[in-house]
Structure 1
Amino acid sequence: MILFFTGTGNSRYIARRIADSLGDELLNMNERIKAWDTSEISADGRLVFVVPTYGWRIPRIVEKWIDETRFSGNFKVWFVMDCGGEIGDADKYIRQLCSRKSFDYMGVKQIVMPENYVAMFGVPNDEQAARIIEKAQPDIADASETIKAEKKFAQPRRNAYDKLMSDIVNPVFYKFFVKADAFTANDKCIGCGKCAKICPLNNIELKNSKPVWGKNCTHCMACICLCPTEAIEYGKKSVGKPRYHLD
């Protein structure tokens, strides 16, 4: 079984490619998390979690959901993390999670995909994104083949920088930056409600046909990047930047 969580489509794309290669079932964690459905998941053979990188670790909401969900069956577990640059020492924290869950952990694979974090970084245009996705194909294929062979992923890089980003910067990132306060909708908003529908944490509601953000945001960038009229901004940080999403 291939399980994915996605904001703008990168993880879903990789998960589909791996599922097609392995002939495995796909499970959308967004739907489970949105409904906070932690009912039992039964699997035999393998579980592959495909997730984005948030602050050089897996998303906290994904970790919480895995912690609270019961998994049954005889299986090995692989993690695939897409990122705009690197995953830091995410492996350390995934190992801890797998230990808590008594999972047979087979490692984590880093796959660089187009950056989507429009609230902080530059985002590629369509042509640049296409080149990055094409460059990722060998890594996706390698992940599929390694999983199919039931082998462990190669140990990811783990230097002082990686430890700093995952150990120190991640908590700072969540405390000071992962907030919805700066999200606004301008006059281009048509009140379609797509942002509220796709928010995996139910953090957006429409009031007078305009989105209003609450306090429970994970900065997945789904709302700002998938708005059909590009009416959503994140303060001044997103102004003039492309909106990236992968169908």
Structure 2
Amino acid sequence: MIFYFSGTGNTRWAAQKLAEATGERLLFVPDELKGSCNYHLDDSERIGFCFPVHGWQPPHIVKQFLQKLTFNTPSNNMSKHYCYVVVTCGDSAGEAIKMFSNELMAKGLNINFAISLIMPESYVCLPFMYTDTPQREAEKIAQATKDLDAALDIILNKQSHLFLIKKGPIPWFFSHVVGAYFNKKMISDKKFSVDEDLCIHCGKCSKVCPTGDIVITNGLPEWKHDNSCTNCLNCYHHCPKHAINYGRITKKRGQYYFGHRTATSGE
């Protein structure tokens, strides 16, 4: 089985390719959190986890799921199951996989294989962060496709002790200092707003929110402020009129979600 979380679609693309190649169940973390998070495994079943890196850490919704996760196996021996992790990030993963691995150990699981896929940038809520140029976006997706194809061979053959991670410079500092501050202070829906003059009341923002954090009231989006937001910016990036903003900083920033160029062109 493959557990995944995705906001703007980068990780969903990777998870779907994995599911198609392995023939294994694809389970969306926000939906699974509504249930018991208890799963039965066949003895030969692989366990995959796919998620984006948020501030050089696993997203808090993934951590929440992992805390709740339990397994039932015929042999009651989790070490028999091949476990892999695929993360997506705009430039580097820091120590996100190491942090995730530490949590997995409590479930009796050890990671056999892990890879980070460098995908187009979608986080634009800081002064120095922008979406990629069309050329850079295409280059990243082309390389990620090659990297994922190579990863599929490794996963299908259950090869172990392979970690293909782009950690970036001073990964401990970025994950445990910068990332800790980011995930504690900046993961919030409180700065989202809608320009009522631009909004066309299509409701797309609510439909694409992976955690159900947006309700439509009188045709306009309202964020629940109930800590369910992951700051994935899916609502912002999907708005056809660029009517949604996060504070003032995103008013002149680009928009991105996986497949947006095909969707925009109508192909």
- Which residue number in structure 1 is paired with residue 96 of structure 2? 90
C-alpha separation in 2, matches of 1:155 and 1:196 = 36
- Which residue number in structure 2 is paired with residue 108 of structure 1? 114
1:241 to partner: Cα distance: 2.0
- Which residue number in structure 2 is paired with residue 203 of structure 1? 213
Alignment deviations for residues 103-142 of structure 1 (CA, whole Å, 9 cap, x no partner) = 1321421110001112232002444322210121221012
201-210 vs 95-104, greater mean Cα deviation: 201-210
Query: 1:180 and 1:159, CA in 2 relative to 1: closer, same or farther beyond 3 A?
Result: closer
- Quick one: which of 32, 36, 39 aligns to 1:38? 36
Q: TM-score when scaled to structure 1?
A: 0.90
C-alpha separation in 1, matches of 2:26 and 2:97 = 23
Give the AA of the match of 2:250: S
- Which residue number in structure 2 is paired with residue 162 of structure 1? 171
Q: Check if 1:146 corresponds to 2:167.
A: no
- Which residue number in structure 1 is paired with residue 17 of structure 2? 17
C-alpha separation in 2, matches of 1:196 and 1:52 = 21
Unaligned runs of at least 5 residues, structure 2: 74-79, 260-267
Alignment deviations for residues 36-72 of structure 1 (CA, whole Å, 9 cap, x no partner) = 2234222332011111000111111111112212223
Q: Which of structures 1 and 2 has the bigger CA Rg?
A: 2
Query: 1:119 and 1:78, CA in 2 relative to 1: closer, same or farther beyond 3 A?
Result: same
Q: Check if 1:131 corresponds to 2:143.
A: no
User: Aligned residues, how many?
Assistant: 245
Q: Check if 1:75 corresponds to 2:81.
A: yes
Secondary structure of 1:154's counterpart equals: strand
Secondary structure of 1:202's counterpart equals: coil
C-alpha separation in 1, matches of 2:204 and 2:166 = 39
Q: Check if 1:63 corresponds to 2:63.
A: yes
Give the AA of the match of 2:244: I
C-alpha separation in 2, matches of 1:159 and 1:127 = 22
C-alpha separation in 1, matches of 2:240 and 2:41 = 37
C-alpha separation in 1, matches of 2:203 and 2:36 = 26
C-alpha separation in 2, matches of 1:177 and 1:51 = 19
Give the AA of the match of 1:201: T
Query: 1:173 and 1:137, CA in 2 relative to 1: closer, same or farther beyond 3 A?
Result: same
- Which residue number in structure 2 is paired with residue 225 of structure 1? 237
Secondary structure of 2:111's counterpart equals: strand
C-alpha separation in 2, matches of 1:51 and 1:159 = 18
C-alpha separation in 2, matches of 1:190 and 1:41 = 42
C-alpha separation in 1, matches of 2:164 and 2:12 = 24
Alignment deviations for residues 144-192 of structure 1 (CA, whole Å, 9 cap, x no partner) = 1111111122264668710011111122102332222221111221223
C-alpha separation in 1, matches of 2:114 and 2:148 = 12
Secondary structure of 2:231's counterpart equals: coil
Identity %: 29
1:200 to partner: Cα distance: 2.8
C-alpha separation in 2, matches of 1:222 and 1:235 = 15
Secondary structure of 1:82's counterpart equals: strand
Give the AA of the match of 1:122: Y
Q: Is the 8 A contact 1:89 1:158 kept in 2?
A: yes
Give the AA of the match of 2:204: K
Q: Is the 8 A contact 1:79 1:109 kept in 2?
A: yes
Alignment deviations for residues 167-222 of structure 1 (CA, whole Å, 9 cap, x no partner) = 11122102332222221111221223232233233322222221122332211111
